[in-house]
Amino acid sequence: MNLKILPLVQLQCLRLILLFTLIFGLMLSLDDGSSIAAQKVGKPGFIDPVNADITSNQLQVVEPPVTGLTSTLSDEVKELPTELIRWSTYWQLCWQPYPEAKEYELQAVLMEGKSPKLRRQSDRCFRIQAASNENQKSLGLLNRELILLTHKIQLGYRVRAVLDDNHVSQWSEVMAVGATNVT
């Protein structure tokens, strides 16, 4: 295969993956009551495993939810031999302090539903790698926007405060990984 067309073939494959992901996401969003996770909350017979688990643990949910969510992107680039670079884009989600919060819990929200696993932390910021690649330096951050768009469609996070005596706050809104609301 001609090495000059290899990047074009890779780009076309990524475009096809993105197109299928968009189509799948649109199909899921057509159903009533859908969220980023495409769950049918409020429909008869629907059991939310996350909230069912909360009830079984006798956690008391208090108002208001965690607010002041901001998300940013930052890039790190490392130069490699032979005119190559290795780059990573990190997505960071931060929020305002919640009165009397001891810790915070984050929950991944996927197209398939909400993850039953919660991540507990004391910090008010959460950072993950949202995109990475290794390519020729002259091409810059190759396919960065396409990779971030794929994550925006497929993955988000929400956060709640953990208080004393089995109390937690309501969940915040879901923020899509790769999306920013602060420049």
The secondary structure of 125-180, three-state, reads EEEEEEEEEEEEHHHCCCCHHHHHHHHHHHEEEEEEEECCCCEEECCCCCEECCCC
Is residue 49 in a domain? no
Cβ-based burial of 95 (10 A; exposed 0-12, middle 13-18, buried ≥19):
buried
Is 7 within a domain?
no
Which residues form the domain of 137? 60-176
**Nearest Cα residue to 156 out of 95, 125, 120, 110:** 110
Q: Looking at the domain assignment, is residue 17 inside a domain?
A: no
Q: How far apart are CA 108 and CA 92, in angstroms?
A: 14
Residue 112 lies in a domain: yes
Cβ atoms of 133 and 14 within 8 Å: the answer is no
Q: Above pLDDT 90, what percent of the chain?
A: 60
pLDDT at residue 90 in the model: 97
pLDDT at 18: 61
Do the domain assignments include residue 27? no
Does residue 2 have a pLDDT over 90? no
Classified as helix, coil or strand, 85 is strand
Nearest to residue 93, comparing CAs of 35, 160, 180, 168? 180
- Residue bearing tokens 């890039």: 75
* pLDDT score for 31: 38
CATH number at residue 152: 2.60.40.10
* Res 164: pLDDT: 87
* Phi, psi angles (nearest 5°) of residue 85: -130, 155
**What is residue 151's predicted lDDT score, i.e. its pLDDT?**
87
pLDDT of residue 165: 82
Instruction: Flag whether 92 is in a domain.
Output: yes
Q: Is the pLDDT of residue 25 over 60?
A: no
pLDDT digits (tens, 9 = 90+) for 96-155: 999 999 999 999 999 889 999 999 999 999 999 999 999 999 999 999 999 999 989 999
Whole-prediction pTM value?
0.68
How much is the mean pLDDT over the chain?
80
Instruction: Assess if residue 163 is contained within a domain.
Output: yes
Higher pLDDT, residue 39 or 94: 94
The count of structural domains within the chain is 1
If one compares 61 and 27, the residue with the highest pLDDT of the two is: 61
The whole-angstrom separation of Cα 143 and Cα 17 is 13
In a domain, 46, yes or no: no
The band of 70, judged by pLDDT with boundaries at 50, 70 and 90, is very high
Quote the CA–CA distance of 147 and 108 in Å, as a whole number: 18
